[in-house]
Structure 1
């Protein structure tokens, strides 16, 4: 017969599974510090040895790491998507930049469609709140804040799609973007005409999501990233033109 005895789950195993789910669902993030052992034991309502055993198990699995004198942290597992050599290759070639935007357009369009269908009311409140912060940052003309909130807004949509594979893959990709591997996002927010267009596009994305319009949300994200692609290409062309103009100017001045 295929039946096996049912055994109650050991407490350390139950703690392990709960922490694993929090990491899987993106609630506990790479680099995030966990509460101290005593506090964890109180929250889980288990003994400290049970917590210690669960933490040791998660360390063996590579999901948690201990820093001497600093505590327990969620391991930084996002950077493992690409080798250092491949990341340097991305940074050195424009082809990777535009392939990255194309990849984002496809994946984030799907994420927006899913978010419009599956987001909870709390998910939509988070996205709406980020939109309010983007409006405020726009009025203050702070490119660094606008670029940071832009990333948070897009990640909130991916989180609201409730697909854990997409979530962790896109977090890895956004980490490379934050590090400037593909392009400097702040450049986009330093240009007055571009800033206004970007804000309008984010408003359109938010409106479609709040209305739970899947196809409208997908189109709004795709239109936004197509605009980013064109703007980046125009910026690169302008930089090349300026370099040529400076060469001409220096040449004429030296004659």
Structure 2
């Protein structure tokens, strides 16, 4: 766990500040369980009463939550980004899918350009490692694994842009995507030709960021998400055509 020892004179407020920073930077994630009180107090180098005071403060402010018999967790603070009614509305209207992709193209284009300029050496290693995993998953032909790594790759780029507002906003958007609110990510990886194109898109994004070329990184993101939009448009067209064909077939069966 990413905790550092606290100097004795700082005590509970320093614990508060450290946990706040870990949540703000997206290192501690919503729903993640903190270590036990004993373990955490040892890692931070503070007494249990000081730790309890800090935890109580963070709970009062809605950043941590206690689960009976289970421990202390980072609160699901992203859950309030979209109301249940709005999430239901997104899933019921096709136009939300394309507005979502437009939004991602704009935001991720900015994030990729910033990552090309601002990413640390470790950020670049994370992005490159995820792309290597994508290549390995590609050869195994597991759509679910490819889709999950796709999301991790894009989020790693957003993390590497080092903008905490964008990080939390986009994590919230990707959580909805994982839940299938906008479209089924795994469906994008079912066809071999599409899978090959998507992998090459991610290779181009990775190469541009590793080369610290912000213009190429933004262009690669825009090309990639433009392709995703076109693929989804074609998929929905095929679905509509199939629905019409079934109606024709049912009518012929009745004649």
**TM-score, normalising length: structure 2:** 0.96
Structure 2, unaligned runs of 5 or more? 1-7
Please name the residue that 2:42 is paired with: 42
Task: Please show how residues 47-86 of structure 1 align to structure 2 within 5 Å.
Answer: 47-86=47-86
Measured in 2, the distance between the counterparts of 1:108 and 1:181 equals: 19
Name the structure 1 match of 2:187.
187
**Corresponding position of 1:33:** 33
Deviations 1:53-108 (A, max 9, x none): 00000000100011111111100111111111111000000111100000000000
Runs of 4 or more above 3 Å deviation: none
Residue 173 of structure 2 is matched in structure 1 by 173
- The Cα offsets for residues 94-140 of structure 1, whole Å up to 9 and x where unpaired, read as 11110000000000000000000000000000000100110011101
Deviation at 1:9, TM superposition (A): 6.5
**For residues 167-191 of structure 1, what are the alpha-carbon distances to aligned partners after superposition, in whole Å with 9 as ceiling and x for unaligned?**
0000011000000011111110111
In 1, Cα distance between equivalents of 2:241 and 2:79: 35
- Gaps in structure 1 of 5+ consecutive residues: 1-7
- Aligned equivalent of 1:3: none
Residue 29 (structure 1) shift: 0.5
Matched positions, count: 248
RMSD in angstroms over aligned alpha carbons? 1.0
3-state SS of 1:147 partner = helix
